[in-house]
Amino acid sequence: KGHYLNITAGDMEAMYERAEFAKEIGSVVVMMDLTIGYTAMTSMSKWSRKNGVLLHLHRAGHSTYTRQKSHGVSFRVIAKWCRMLGVDHIHAGTVVGKLEGDPHTTKGYYDTLRLDHVPQNLANGIYFDQDWASMPGVMPVASGGIHAGQMHQLLDLLGEDTVLQFGGGTIGHPDGIAAGATANRVALEAMILARNE
């Protein structure tokens, strides 16, 4: 449970000021949007490493060029770039909820972000083996209308090394926010327990 303070701004000076403020008040994670560009993301990644703060990347705006069929940039490429520039978390899509995506393609994104060695898997859109050597992985984040009733799908398709952000799926529980939070936790623990027995 926590909050990622959004440091996205129109210039680097304002982003550094926001990041410093977040650090001063004890935030352990700051968030930036993909829309700031790759040079700014690299600068914030360096700041985060230097200051011991995790860096979460929201992929706001990605669909303006990732969903084009005849031109654009695949999200898989963006995932690789973000891994190379050093973000810690990235919204990588979900297979359920309001941000549905193809399960195999989304799994390919998650593997690209997490694994040290990504084996070829044509079904998941991985066209060649990729060895990341000592390049740190990125924790993929699933969010966007996900809720406790989808826990089995989330874990089966995305795995356990995933950040699951339940916002509206918690707040929208018919019995209120506390019940939504409890339902998410109980569903997660039940699924993990069932897998391990």
Per residue in 82-129, pLDDT (tens digit) is 999 999 999 888 888 776 678 888 899 999 999 999 999 999 989 999
Percent of the chain residues past pLDDT 90, beyond the cut: 61
CB 57 within 8 A of CB 31: yes
Residue 152 Rama label (left phi>0; alpha psi -120 to 50; beta):
alpha
Say which range, 56-65, 125-134, 161-170, has the weakest mean pLDDT. Answer: 56-65
- Please say whether the structural domain 59-168 has been given the CATH code 3.10.20.310: no
pLDDT of residue 63: 66
Please give the Cα distance from 35 to 57 (Å, whole number): 10
For the cut 80, the answer to whether the pLDDT of residue 189 exceeds it is: yes
For the cut 70, the answer to whether the pLDDT of residue 2 exceeds it is: no
pLDDT of residue 70: 77
User: To the nearest whole number, what is the mean pLDDT of the chain?
Assistant: 90
> Ranked by mean pLDDT, which of 62-71, 73-82, 161-170, 175-184 comes out on top?
175-184
Mean pLDDT within 42-64: 89
Q: From the CB of residue 149, how many other CB atoms can be counted at a distance below 10 Å? A: 12
pLDDT of residue 10: 93
Percent of the chain residues past pLDDT 70, beyond the cut: 93
pLDDT of residue 145: 82
Please give the Cα distance from 53 to 126 (Å, whole number): 31
**How is the chain split among helix, strand and coil, in percent rounded to 5?**
50, 15, 35
Q: DSSP label at 149?
A: G
Express each pLDDT in 15-41 by its tens digit: 999 999 999 999 999 999 988 989 999
